[in-house]
Amino acid sequence: MRLILLGAPGAGKGTVAKMLTAIDGSVQISTGDILRAAVKEGTDLGKEAQGYMSRGELVPDALIMGIMGERLLEDDCQSGFLLDGFPRTIPQAEALKELLTKLNIELDGVVNLNVPRDVILDRLTTRRTCEDCGAIYNVKSNPPKVEGVCDKCGGKVVQRDDETEEAISKRLDVFNEQTAPLVGFYEKEGMLWDINATSSDEVVAVIKEKLGIA
């Protein structure tokens, strides 16, 4: 499958992407995960991105397109990809369109995950993430079996740096200003799948139905 997962911070893009990769081996490409890994490794990209991320702002489009222009050419993308957190601005969406046309790749659809704001705020303040493998947990709905320890790899399960109340509020404002207009962009392209994303199982079921997967 070749899908874009669109949605506010905490809408469940990462959770749904991980469930979808288990179906047919399509790769999850999360620009947030790529940037967090770069910050952790202290690369030039990480140093440049860190300030934007901890303030809850978007990293400049040119940096993101540099990453994605290379990532989409890698071999593991041949069997399908789930774009999680990209594109996030109209210029990124336009650049992606141009890139996919050049590579002769067609998207199956753009999944818009709709979740009420109060649910989002609750999810973000209760999310925990594995520092090592990126597995996503929630202290209320999906805690690790042993507190602070990843079920999958034994890594440390922590709260992300951008999960302060101030950064969450900034990320939601940035989403409304810069990312929400992508809904109209993809609607015009005839590619938008608007889905109620209160239940991740239901989101996956709708996507499978649209793709004709049993």
Annotated binding residues for AMP: 31, 36, 57-59, 85-88, 92, 160, 171
What is each CA distance from 8 to 39, 48, 115, 162, in whole angstroms? 22, 23, 8, 14
Examine the residue annotation and report whether 88 is marked as an active-site residue of this protein.
Answer: yes
Residues at the binding site are 10-15, 31, 36, 57-59, 85-88, 92, 127, 130, 133, 136-137, 150, 153, 160, 171, 199
CB of 118 to ligand AP5, least distance (A): 13
- If one counts every other C-beta atom within 10 angstroms of the C-beta of residue 56, the result is 20
Examine the residue annotation and report whether 127 is marked as an active-site residue of this protein.
Answer: yes
What is each CA distance from 149 to 10, 19, 33, 159, 210, in whole angstroms? 21, 21, 19, 12, 36
Site membership for ligand AP5, residue 32 (CB under 6 A): yes
Which of 20, 38, 58, 157 is in the footprint of ligand AP5 by CB under 6 A? 58
Site membership for ligand AP5, residue 86 (CB under 6 A): yes
Examine the residue annotation and report whether 71 is marked as an active-site residue of this protein.
Answer: no
Number of residues this chain uses to bind ligand AP5 (CB under 6 A): 34
Identify which of residues 112 and 192 has a Cβ nearer to ligand AP5 in the complex.
Answer: 112
Q: What does the block give as tokens for 181?
A: 């207009």
Q: Which of 18, 71, 97, 160 is catalytic?
A: 160
Phi–psi pair at 136, nearest 5 degrees = -105, 135
- Using CA atoms in the order 159, 163, 165, 166, what is the torsion angle rounded to 10 degrees? 140
- Give counts: helices (H), strands (E), the chain: 9, 8
- The pattern of x and - marking residues 166 through 185 that bind ligand AP5 according to CB under 6 A reads -----x--------------
Place of tokens 């890139």: 99
CB of 64 to ligand AP5, least distance (A): 4
Residues designated catalytic: 13, 88, 127, 160, 171
